[in-house]
Amino acid sequence: MMILREFKEDDKAQLVHILNEPEVVKYLSSKIPKPYTMQDAQWWISTGSKIGIVKAIECNGTLIGCIGADRGEFEYQRSAEIGYWIGKDYWRQGVATQAINELIPLIFKTTDIVRLFASVFSKNTASIRVLDKCGLQLEAIHKKAIYKDGKFYDNHVFSLLKT
């Protein structure tokens, strides 16, 4: 059973394990330290996960991922960017889809955000399928907008408006 919850101290070792999996971080922001250490996990639990709307994804008592929405600033304050990652052992089990489908109504019911969007590396076809399945619409493809590890990727931007 999957639930969304706050991060807790017991999550440190699992955070370090998952965020050192090359396949998991391949299409994530390079803001995530490499290698990911226990100190990084401690900062995330005590500080980073308190910024914006951030939830740990738990399955059967184990941390398996993270999902959140980062609110824009100034004139973008009513928009938020969704981001998420799932541990490799839980890929292709519908976890990301379920987490997004739980997060969207939570955001729209408890905040004044009216637009959610997600930016996806062009090669991350699994995430593109998940966002489409969750009702987000492809809004734009920004050519060569992402540069990571010496490679360019197109940025697929998906969005969903509160109705």
Residue of 30, 28, 112, 34 lying closest to 72 (CA atoms): 112
CB 82 within 8 A of CB 67: yes
Q: What domains does the chain contain, in order, with CATH numbers?
A: 2-115 (3.40.630.30)
Range 75-86 average pLDDT: 98
pLDDT tens digits for range 102-142: 999 999 999 999 999 999 999 999 999 999 999 999 999 99
pTM, full prediction: 0.95
